[in-house]
Structure 1
Amino acid sequence: MRPPVPSRVRLAAHRLVWLLAMLWLGTQTALAACCGPITPAGDQLRQFLDQSGVEHLWLPHEHVHWLTGLPDLERPGQSRHATHCSAYVAAMSVRLGVPLLRPPEHRADMLATPQTQWLETTGPSQGWREVDRRVAQSLANQGEFVLAAWANPDPRRSGHIAIVRPSMQTTAELDQHGPELTMAGHLNALRISTERGFEDHPGAWIAGGKGTVRFFAHTVDWSRVQAQPSPTRP
C-alpha cells in the first residue's frame, strides 16, 4: 500500500495544473483572431473583392478606364508612371452604391490624396466614419466597405488608397503588418498587408499603427449589391 500523498504536495500539483491551464488559455487568446469572426456579410465582401478582377484589370503602367479597369482605347499604349489604386476603389464604390469622390467630380489621375481629404471633410456627412486599425479590420469582417487611405504631403506626387478585406489574423499580426487589403497600385493584389501595400510611401505604415495611414468605414446594403450588375465600358 502506497503512503498517502502529503496535502502540500497535492496543493502544489493543483497549482501547477492551474498555472499550465492559464498559460494555455493565454496562448490561445494571443493566437485568436484579433477582430472577430467573418460574418455572412463579411463573406459577401470577400467574394465581391475576389471577383472584382483586380489581378488582371487596373494594371499599373497601362492607360485604363477608371470604371472598368480595361485598357483605355482612346489612350492606347503604356505609361511608365500610371497606377490605379484610386480608380479601383472608386469603381468598387460605384458597384457597392457607396458615395466617394470619383470621376467626373475629380480627374482619374492623382485622385488618392483628394479622396483621402474628401473622406476626412465631406465623408462624415455621407455616412463615412474614421476608425482605428483594429476596428477597421473588425468592420471589414462584418461586411462594411473600409478604406486604408494616405494623403501625400507632396501635391506633385500621388497618395495611396486600398480596400480592407476580411481576414482572421491575430492581434500580433495586425499590430505588426496592419489590416489585410485588396488593392491596385504599384502592384495589384487580392491579399496584401497594409505594411506591404504602402511600402512605396515611407512612414505611411509603422508597426503598431504609428504611421499616417488612416482608415474610414461605410456600411453596405448587400441586398442592393446582389441585384446590381457589374458596370461595363461606357
Structure 2
Amino acid sequence: MSSAPASVQAPPTAADATALCCGEVSNPGKLLDRVIDSMHVDDRWQPHVHIEWATGLQDQPSGSSGPDRATHCSSFTAALGLKLDVYMLRPPEHSQQLLASAQGEWFRSPGGVQAGWTSVPTAAEAQTLSNAGKLVVVVYESPEPRRPGHVAIVRPFPKTNADLAENGVQTAQAGAKNFSSGVARVSFAKHEGAWPNGVRYYVHTIDWQKLIAKWSDQAKKN
C-alpha cells in the first residue's frame, strides 16, 4: 500500500488551534511581566504632550507648542530598555522625533548587532523568546522618511496558535492609545503596510541575575 506524499498534512484541528504556540511563560518571563507593569504605560508616555523620555511624565504645559508632542512609542521602548540595562537607540543620541524608524534601522545595523540585538524571523519565535524572559521588540520602519514608524514591546503571554495567527504577538506600547497588554494587530493598525508583513522582530538577552542584585542594592540604600 502506498503512503501519502510527505508534503500532505492533516488539516488543523480544534485542539491545534487552542494549543499554546510559544510555550508557557517562564519565571524570567513572569519577572519581565512585572517590570513592564511597573512602567505604568497606561498613564505615562501619553500622546500629544511633551514628556521626559525616560519616565514618560509630562514635562511641559499642555497646549504648549514645539516638537516631540505626537506619540511616544519609541521613548517607552527605550525607557524599558534602560530599566532592564539593555541599550537601544534613544535620546540624546537621537531625538524623540521619528525615533521608531531610526531604532528599526539601528537594530539591524552593525551598532545594534554589536550591542547584542539579534533579528528574529517569525512571530512565534518572538513570542517564545519573550515568554522565556528576553527583551523582544516588534518594529515597523516607515518607507517615507518624514512619516513615523512604530515600535512595541513583545509581552510574555500564554498565547494559543489561533490567537497568534489572528492577532500576532502580545504587545505593550505607547502610541495613539497606550496599553500594557494588547496585540500586534491593534498596535500596528494605523500604519499602512505594517501589519502583518511589514513588521520585524529583534531580541536582546536580559541579565536577570545582575539586575536582581542591582535592585537589591538599591532597596538596601533606600
TM range (shorter): 0.7 to 0.9
Q: In 2, are the aligned partners of 1:63 and 1:78 still within 8 Å (CA)? A: no
Instruction: Give the direction of change, closer, same or farther, for the CA distance of 1:63–1:172 in structure 2 (3 Å limit).
Output: same
Give the aligned residue type for 2:180: L
Correspondence 1:223 to 2:189: no
Cα distance, 1:214 vs. partner? 0.3
Correspondence 1:153 to 2:143: yes
Q: 2:114 aligns with which of 118, 122, 125?
A: 125
Structure 2: distance between partners of 1:221 and 1:177? 30
Correspondence 1:199 to 2:180: no
Q: In 2, are the aligned partners of 1:61 and 1:79 still within 8 Å (CA)? A: no
Report the counterpart of residue 5 of structure 1 in structure 2: none
Structure 2: distance between partners of 1:62 and 1:215? 28
Cα distance, 1:26 vs. partner? 4.7
Correspondence 1:107 to 2:95: yes
Structure 2: distance between partners of 1:85 and 1:225? 24
Matches within 5 A, 1:68-87: 68-72=55-59, 75-78=60-63, 82-87=70-75
Structure 2: distance between partners of 1:140 and 1:185? 21
Report the counterpart of residue 10 of structure 1 in structure 2: none
Q: In 2, are the aligned partners of 1:95 and 1:225 still within 8 Å (CA)? A: no
Cα distance, 1:28 vs. partner? 2.8
Correspondence 1:66 to 2:56: no
Report the counterpart of residue 78 of structure 2 in structure 1: 90
Q: Normalised by the size of structure 2, how large is the TM-score?
A: 0.85
CA deviation vs aligned residue, 1:44-82 (integer Å, no higher than 9, x gap): 01111111110111001111000111111xx32247961
Structure 1: distance between partners of 2:209 and 2:92? 27
Runs of 4+ in structure 1 off by over 4 angstroms are none
Correspondence 1:31 to 2:14: no
Equivalenced residues, count: 201
Q: In 2, are the aligned partners of 1:116 and 1:149 still within 8 Å (CA)? A: yes
Structure 1: distance between partners of 2:193 and 2:13? 32
Report the counterpart of residue 157 of structure 2 in structure 1: 167
Correspondence 1:40 to 2:40: no
Give the aligned residue type for 1:104: P
Q: CA RMSD in A?
A: 2.0
Cα distance, 1:115 vs. partner? 0.4
Give the aligned residue type for 2:115: Q
Structure 2: distance between partners of 1:30 and 1:119? 33
Q: In 1, are the aligned partners of 2:16 and 2:161 still within 8 Å (CA)? A: no
Structure 1: distance between partners of 2:143 and 2:39? 30
Cα distance, 1:114 vs. partner? 0.4
Q: Which 5+ residue runs of structure 2 have no aligned equivalent?
A: 1-9
Give the aligned residue type for 1:157: R
Q: Which 5+ residue runs of structure 1 have no aligned equivalent?
A: 1-22
